[in-house]
Structure 1
Amino acid sequence: MATTLKDVTKREPFTPEPKSKSFQRNLLLSIGGVFLLFAICFSVYQYKREKEYKIDILHSRLQMYNYEMVQTVGMDSIVCSHTFRNYVLHHQMEGLRVSVIDKEGRVILDSYDTNVKDLGNHLQRREIQQALREGSGYDIKRMSQSTHETYFYSATRFDDVIVRAAVPYSAELTRSLQADNTYIYYSGVLTLLLGIVLYYITHRISRHIGYLREFAVKAEEGEKLDHELERRLPDDELGDISHTIIMLYWKLRHSEEEKVRIKRQLTQNAAHELKTPAASIHGYLESIIDNPDMPEDKKKHFLERCFAQSERMNKLLLDMSALTKLDEIDDDRSEARQAYRPVDVLQIIQSALDDTALQLQEKGIVPSLQLPQHVEVLGDQSLIYSIFRNLIDNAIAYATGASLLSITCAEVEKEGRHFYEFIVSDNGQGVEAQHLTHLFERFYRVDKGRSRKLGGTGLGLAIVKNAVVAHGGQATALSTPGGGLTIRFTLARF
């Protein structure tokens, strides 16, 4: 069943969240936190990448030195102490130390120490292992066991020997290997700017959500609402969503107010309609009780009037019960709609005409049918019968001077769905144009005094429209060309 405004007001009152849990703060912290984490990770990655780049440059320079030395002195002379030292002497770099090591890790020559036997085996050194595997290798900031200085080592393998160049970690080298921190300042400034933009965006979103929240609080507390909040909403997707929510609220509120008005009007009209026959019955019975010597023929007349008024009351109550049933199945998910079954409409029309054949004959109305051979819809048989029975009864009661009652049917398609369109028309006096849009309203009467005299309840066409809507169709009232009333309605095809 659809949620009503009354149901909503029965729920627990809306309690605003404390300011410490503001939407803006949570949004700013969540998005800002993710962005800050990304910025930190990017900075760390960039720092390591920058440092590796500087190390690669130094490693490449030392590799170039190793290659130039081997190409200059030749592979055969690289192990010659005199040639080796002469080259290092004439191609010296500040603090440069050069060593020649064989594949077993033994130091053959060293520019710093002539007593190479005391230098130990270098096979397990990191740069030597890499050079043996990959052709070149380096090690960063390792202390020499012979000089007790910290060096940067770069080794290159040439067939059976490895040439290793090393430079000490001076203050200048340390500075040159440090990553350039300029990008960190740029990243900081960019983060600050984006933080300001993010704050502005979250503040703007929070402000507009605050307007919507203010509207919700006022609606919950039943305060007077105006359209000022709507004018303050942004002209974007957030504003569209907010406008939609507010419009749905207004529609729900107006719908509930309209339902309350209709129910109040229905109650008043029902009381008014019941009051007349009830007063008549009371008056007739009171006359019979107060006059025990009343002639039998007069008493019988009063009793017949009481019976007629009771019949009118009974029909009114039955019609109101039918409308109540229709209101209950107004929801598409109602159990009544789930119980719908295939219904043969032609059989129902014929049954309604058979039940009213005597009244039609007395009024001189001849039914005319133009229907397909097979018309079947999914619905409630009793409600579909009430549609055609009320339309026929309405023609009998109010189509003054009518001689023809026409019922036609044709298959139509609307928005991809297939319907049967029925047209029930007469050639009587018809209804003035200003009444056509009100004919389906409950207790609406074109001529109130005349309608009551004819025994009508004012609910027949209201039942017709609600029963049609309950079967997924629509009903309209039109003037018949040439005079008379036409009721056109659709029922969804099975």
Structure 2
Amino acid sequence: MTPINKPLLSFNQKLLLSVVALFAAFSLCFIGYQYQREKEFKVELLNTKLQDYNARLHEEINDSSNIENALNGFIKRHKLKDLRTTVITLDGKVIFDNQKKDYNHIGNHLERPEIKMALESGTGYSVRRTSETTGVSYFYSATLYDDYIIRSALPYNVELITSLKADYHFVWFTIFITIILTIAFSRFTRKFGMSIARLREFTVRAHRDEPLGMDMEKTFPHNELGEISQHIIKIYKRLRETKEALYIEREKLITHLQSSHEGLGVFNAEKKEILVNSLFTQYSNLISDVNLQSAEEVFSIPELQKITEFINNAPAKPGNQERRLSLNIEKNGRVFIVECIIFQDLSFEVSINDVTMEEEQHRMKRQLTQNIAHELKTPVSSIQGYLETIVNNPNLPKDKFNTFIERCYAQSNRLTRLLRDISVLTRIDEASNMIDMEKVEVNSLVQNIINEVSLELEMRNISVHNLLKKDMYIRGNASLIYSIFRNLMDNSISYAGTDISITIKCFREDETFYYFSFSDTGVGVSPEHLNRLFERFYRVDKGRSRKIGGTGLGLAIVKNSILIHGGNISAKNNKGGGLEFVFTLAKN
């Protein structure tokens, strides 16, 4: 077994490192964002505190007539350490500063950032700006009122820096959560990565067509990916088994084709040989005037020109065009049927059948039917003899006269039935493709037959059980379907005996066929006769058959009519006595 190369890092290690890196990047961004927010919050809190102080100063000024005395008095009462308070007019002139006695000489403050903000939005602040007056860095907070601006400032010293620092508890919390999630995800990725590793091992072995081993399915963890992987392996194993089965079936097919009784050649779209059996080579050489060196040369035979043109003109895409062509070829005293079938990929199959024997058998059957028709002169001669006797003996006794007339009538009926049955068989044999098809309801047709023979049934004390369901439709020839059930009925009435019952039923159906049973409880038939019941003019009891007046063609008509409708028929004796015919009829 070829070893499987393992990468430096397994899939779960790569996945874990990727997720940890992603978590770390997220945590750093979160910490930076939260740190900035915390600082801004502390600054805003300090600004709010100074704004509140400014508001209280403003109230004190409004309640006093002397601004400077009022401010000094309020600052003394509410003294904040190192707090600097400044009052500035709207044009930027300083009119009070508690830390500068000569504040009248302080420069204009309109360009100070906090003053500009206050003039624009009502309040403003500035973090760590160095005063041009004192040279000390302050945190400024200014508030705009109707006639002036009050500004408070605290020195930006160590104490203020400490108070403005962000709270670092959220940093440790974020690191703790990241570690917990990393541990949890490492456990998850370990199982996930194990499934991926096993799946990778499976795909490599499958690609190399190596055996998987009996425990491959059991090595996957019990998670969703493990279950999916197990299903994939099961599907692969089924496909492998199917492939092996198809290979076996292919070998069987090739063996069957080599031993087939028809010549078969399979070619690709370029007319190159894929599979050719020996009979194909033999038959193609019988058709050809020269010996063929290869199977591809069959397309140069003049007799197969239509097949070659049919293949050359085949459309690239399947459509409504016919993709099957059949030819009859007579050559060197033989008759061949050559058939070509084109598949969707434009590969095709050419089959050659030697039907010389079948054609000869058909010819003999037709000749036999003609000879039999010729033999029908016997009842005609009988009728003629009886009539001549009557004509030549005017004084013939009345009882003999009636006897001769009855015999003439019986022979004429027999002759009529013979001619009718022979006509039906000839039509089936020679013009089966010309028979009209229509929608036939079987139950009502059988019921009509029962009504037609009701007198004969009553005379023989025969009961008929029609168990066919209503609305059972077959697309076929109504006359031939009638012949099937009528001849079976006549056969039972004539030969099964008296005091019996007849049962007609459909015991099964599928998408294509109805399966019928026509049985009676009569005398049955000896086993040696069962396989010959459907032969033309075959009689189990020749003397009794002629006495009854049967033609010997009824069951032959039944069989051929069923074959025309895509079915088959067989006969068997019932265990309880009687004969049963089992047959199928195609629905369409």
Q: What TM-score do you get using the length of structure 1 for normalisation?
A: 0.56
User: Deviations along 1:235-272, whole A, 9 cap, x unmatched?
Assistant: 44323432332233123212211111111111222333
1:263 corresponding residue in structure 2 = 250
Deviation at 1:275, TM superposition (A): 11
1:190 aligns with 2:280: no
2:30 corresponding residue in structure 1 = 42
Deviation at 1:478, TM superposition (A): 13
Cα 1:17/1:144, change in 2 over 3 Å: farther
1:135 corresponding residue in structure 2 = 122
1:200 aligns with 2:201: no
1:423 aligns with 2:506: no
Partner Cα separation in structure 2 for residue 489 and residue 100 of structure 1 = 110
Match of 2:81 among 90, 94, 106: 94
1:212 corresponding residue in structure 2 = 199
Q: Which moved more, 1:68-77 or 1:156-165?
A: 68-77
Cα 1:140/1:184, change in 2 over 3 Å: same
User: Deviations along 1:375-433, whole A, 9 cap, x unmatched?
Assistant: xxxxxxxxxxxxxxxxxxxxxxxxxxx989xxxxxxx9xxxxxxx9432668799xxxx
- State the SS of the aligned residue for 2:80: coil
Partner Cα separation in structure 1 for residue 114 and residue 21 of structure 2 = 42
User: Deviations along 1:436-494, whole A, 9 cap, x unmatched?
Assistant: xxxxxxxxxxxxxxxxxxxxxxxxxxxxxxxxxxxxxxxxx99999654648799xxxx
Cα 1:113/1:224, change in 2 over 3 Å: same
Partner Cα separation in structure 2 for residue 166 and residue 66 of structure 1 = 10
- State the SS of the aligned residue for 1:156: strand
Tell me which amino acid in the other structure corresponds to 2:143: T
- State the SS of the aligned residue for 1:113: coil
Q: Is the 8 A contact 2:64 2:70 kept in 1?
A: no
1:5 corresponding residue in structure 2 = none
1:122 corresponding residue in structure 2 = 109
Cα 1:61/1:275, change in 2 over 3 Å: closer
1:59 aligns with 2:47: yes
Aligned counterparts, 1:47-446, within 5 A: 47-74=35-62, 77=65, 80-273=67-260, 328-329=343-344, 371=439, 421-423=511-513
Cα 1:372/1:57, change in 2 over 3 Å: farther
Cα 1:268/1:190, change in 2 over 3 Å: same
Cα 1:275/1:100, change in 2 over 3 Å: closer
Q: Is the 8 A contact 2:206 2:212 kept in 1?
A: yes
Q: Is the 8 A contact 2:10 2:197 kept in 1?
A: no
User: Deviations along 1:218-238, whole A, 9 cap, x unmatched?
Assistant: 222232223422223344432
Partner Cα separation in structure 2 for residue 67 and residue 91 of structure 1 = 13
Cα 1:425/1:214, change in 2 over 3 Å: same
2:310 corresponding residue in structure 1 = none
Q: Is the 8 A contact 2:191 2:221 kept in 1?
A: no
Q: Is the 8 A contact 2:569 2:581 kept in 1?
A: no
Q: Is the 8 A contact 2:95 2:103 kept in 1?
A: yes
- State the SS of the aligned residue for 1:193: helix
Partner Cα separation in structure 2 for residue 123 and residue 57 of structure 1 = 25
Q: Is the 8 A contact 1:212 1:229 kept in 2?
A: no
User: Deviations along 1:363-383, whole A, 9 cap, x unmatched?
Assistant: xxxx9966489xxxxxxxxxx
Deviation at 1:278, TM superposition (A): 7.8
User: Deviations along 1:35-68, whole A, 9 cap, x unmatched?
Assistant: 3322222211211111111111111111111111
Q: Is the 8 A contact 1:421 1:488 kept in 2?
A: no
2:532 corresponding residue in structure 1 = none
Tell me which amino acid in the other structure corresponds to 1:243: Q
Tell me which amino acid in the other structure corresponds to 1:120: G
Unaligned residue ranges in structure 2 (runs of 5+) = 264-276, 283-330, 348-423, 442-486, 490-508, 520-567, 573-579
Q: Is the 8 A contact 1:425 1:480 kept in 2?
A: no
- State the SS of the aligned residue for 2:88: strand
- State the SS of the aligned residue for 1:100: strand
2:505 corresponding residue in structure 1 = none
User: Deviations along 1:101-133, whole A, 9 cap, x unmatched?
Assistant: 111111110000011134211111111111112
Cα 1:262/1:71, change in 2 over 3 Å: same
Q: What TM-score do you get using the length of structure 2 for normalisation?
A: 0.48
Tell me which amino acid in the other structure corresponds to 1:64: D
Q: Is the 8 A contact 1:479 1:486 kept in 2?
A: no
Cα 1:357/1:209, change in 2 over 3 Å: farther
Cα 1:24/1:59, change in 2 over 3 Å: same
Q: CA RMSD in A?
A: 4.6
- State the SS of the aligned residue for 1:228: coil
Q: Is the 8 A contact 1:85 1:111 kept in 2?
A: yes
Cα 1:129/1:488, change in 2 over 3 Å: farther
Deviation at 1:161, TM superposition (A): 0.5
- State the SS of the aligned residue for 2:216: helix
Tell me which amino acid in the other structure corresponds to 2:513: I
Partner Cα separation in structure 2 for residue 209 and residue 122 of structure 1 = 71
Partner Cα separation in structure 2 for residue 224 and residue 80 of structure 1 = 100
Tell me which amino acid in the other structure corresponds to 2:205: K
Q: Is the 8 A contact 1:98 1:165 kept in 2?
A: yes
Cα 1:255/1:189, change in 2 over 3 Å: same
Partner Cα separation in structure 2 for residue 127 and residue 15 of structure 1 = 75
Cα 1:45/1:486, change in 2 over 3 Å: farther
Unaligned residue ranges in structure 1 (runs of 5+) = 1-13, 283-306, 337-355, 374-401, 405-411, 413-419, 430-476
Tell me which amino acid in the other structure corresponds to 2:226: G
Deviation at 1:358, TM superposition (A): 5.8
Deviation at 1:28, TM superposition (A): 2.9
Cα 1:145/1:199, change in 2 over 3 Å: same
Deviation at 1:153, TM superposition (A): 0.6
Cα 1:34/1:61, change in 2 over 3 Å: same
1:24 aligns with 2:12: yes
